Amino acid sequence: MKDSNLDAGVTAGFGDEWTRFDQSALPAAVRAEIFNAYFRRFPWATLPQDAVGADFGCGSGRWAAVVAPRVAKLYCVDASEAALRVARRNLASFGNCEFVSASLAETPIPNASLDFAYSLGVLHHLPDTAAGLASCVRKLKPGAPFLLYLYYRFDNRPGWYRVAWLITNLARVVISRLPYGLRYWTSQLIAACVYWPAARFARLARVLGIRATHFPLQFYSDKPFYVMRTDALDRFGTRLERRFTRAEIERMMYSAGLLAIEFSEEEPFWCAVGCRAGTT
């Protein structure tokens, strides 16, 4: 039976993305820096020594490669077989990774069995983000932490920033419906002509002592071009994208059964961690 909370075109698009950008060219130091930004609030110290967890929407396995050495077992779950092929190759040196080809609603991991889980940049590409989150949370033991990253609705940005995003979103709607080849090359042109100049301008501003907090794409000011190329394809090549305010994400997490929710106050926005309701 087909999972209604899964867009086949989006899934295929991410398979294409991770095949083109398998993250093998991502420097280890940069991977660690971005990983730490996502996992800033994650309570590593609370996990048991034999912790079993899951990466929901593992993609190329770029974050699983950092998590796997810290835990006893890690389920790498993705609905794209193409993405899982890349993840298997990237994580071949880890004997504690189990690869699961399934949508979130159909994941065969037993309910209430995981000591932790995370889903970074995935659930906002589902038709029903709240249902996807609930599917993940059901797999957690009571008290287990869940780390979530969803695209934000620029609720902490000035009005002109949101207007600029609306313009780029019109471009995304068009570009994301192009054939894979054209979609890829258009995104790479954007990476070269928009991401790179904007990021380097933000870096120059910082060097000159100018506050660059609201500069567009300032997150990439210290990132290599490879990261920009990957994210440009991710951003403009995906036809289904949902965005949420911090308050909406918090309500969604509570509704899914997560408590003690904490948000990171730094980019990337919004990243939050909560623990499943109940006691162990």
Smallest CA-to-CA distance from 214 within 256, 171, 156, 166 is with: 156
Residue 84 to residues 18, 60, 143, 219, Cα–Cα distance (Å): 9, 7, 29, 28
**Pairing verdict, β 145-149 and 52-56:** unpaired
**Strand order across the 52-56 sheet:** 97-101, 73-78, 52-56, 116-120, 145-149, 271-276, 258-263
Q: Give the model's pLDDT for residue 106.
A: 93
Q: What token pair was written down for 236? A: 């403009």
Encode the chain (280 residues) as per-residue pLDDT tens digits.
Answer: 567 788 888 999 999 999 999 999 999 999 999 999 999 999 999 999 999 999 999 999 999 999 999 999 999 999 999 999 999 999 999 999 999 999 999 999 999 999 999 999 999 999 999 999 999 999 999 999 999 999 999 999 999 999 999 999 999 999 999 999 999 999 999 999 999 999 999 999 888 888 878 888 999 999 999 999 999 999 999 999 999 999 999 999 999 999 999 999 999 999 999 999 986 5
C-alpha 188/C-alpha 222 separation (Å) is 19
Give 106-109's long-range contacts (Cβ < 8 A, gap of 24+): 106/3, 107/54, 107/56, 107/75, 107/77, 107/135, 107/139, 109/54, 109/75, 109/77, 109/139
Q: Where are the domains of the chain?
A: 8-153+243-276, 179-236
Q: What token pair was written down for 120? A: 């970074």
Q: Give the model's pLDDT for residue 2.
A: 63
C-alpha 280/C-alpha 20 separation (Å) is 42
C-alpha 37/C-alpha 31 separation (Å) is 10
Q: Give the model's pLDDT for residue 27.
A: 93
pTM over cut 0.85: yes
- Is residue 79 within 8 A of residue 11, CB to CB? The reply is yes
Q: Give the model's pLDDT for residue 279.
A: 64
Q: Give the model's pLDDT for residue 5.
A: 83
Topology of domain 8-153+243-276 in CATH is Rossmann fold (3.40.50)
- Is residue 28 within 8 A of residue 252, CB to CB? The reply is no
